[in-house]
Chains A and B, each alone.
Chain A
Amino acid sequence: MGRIKRGGYLIEWWMGDHLPKHIHIYKDGILVAKVETASMLVLAGALNKRLKKILVELIREQKI
């Protein structure tokens, strides 16, 4: 499954049987950020503290 919802954000990554290289993050349908998962490098957009926390949680849970 290439999509998860958490904290009001929709986080999406490529289909297929692999962990994502990068993720797209949407809020209310707007693309707010694109993040490289291995390094947490913000490729486009920006992350607020809440969103960073959500991503750290998802990485810890090995969801992304």
Chain B
Amino acid sequence: MKAVKIRSGEFNNRKKVLTVYYMNGKAIEVHYSQLGIKKNLGAVWVDKETRGHSLGLRFDDGKEDYMPYDQPLALTKDPEYLLQTHVERLTAVIKATIKERRISKRFLADQLGTSDNQIQRLLNPTILNKNLEQLYKVATIIGLEFEWHIKKAA
């Protein structure tokens, strides 16, 4: 599973901004209001229980909460994260349909004239560079169809 780890975090109670630094070099700023934070922060730390996939937050009243690694990425509409979530959802729906209809990957490979390995790659959510023609063929075989939507950003 492709998940970005958090390297560190810092906060500014005056500006009400939390900055998250990721292991891949990204730095993302989010306003407290975007996270539903109404109190000032007293401390932030990289959470060990999730091995760096969350940021621990302690408020000035002593209460604690945790923020998953992907929340700032989604709030700021990080393009790499958005692509990954779209591919994840797409492959998840295809895989669930394949399971429900008891269609073998061998059958799909034969229909597409490709290898089992290529079908595995096609349905692997961590591989973002997909062969769309093959994905469309798989969707048609299992009784799904694609609908594309694009809209102005909110």
User: Hey, which bits of chain A sit against chain B, CB under 8 A?
Assistant: 1-3, 10, 12-18, 24, 26, 29-31, 33-34, 36, 41-45
Cα(A40)–Cα(B124), bound, Å: 19
**Interface Cβ pair total, 8 Å cutoff:** 72
Helix, strand, loop or mixed for chain A's interface? strand
Nearest CB in chain B to that of A16: its residue? B36
Helix, strand, loop or mixed for chain B's interface? mixed
Within 8 Å by CB of B88, from A2, A29, A44, lies A44
Categorize the interface residue count of chain B.
20 to 34
Which residues from B are CB-within-8-Å of A33?
1
* CB <8 Å contact, B125 and A44: yes
Nearest CB in chain B to that of A42: its residue? B92
* CB <8 Å contact, A14 and B68: yes
* CB <8 Å contact, A1 and B49: no
Which residues from A are CB-within-8-Å of B57?
15
Which residues from A are CB-within-8-Å of B50?
10, 12, 24, 26, 29, 31
Cα(A17)–Cα(B36), bound, Å: 7
Which residues from B are CB-within-8-Å of A10?
49-50
On whether A34 and B65 interact (CB within 8 A), knowing A16-B36, A24-B53, the answer reads no
On whether A43 and B92 interact (CB within 8 A), knowing A16-B36, A26-B49, the answer reads yes
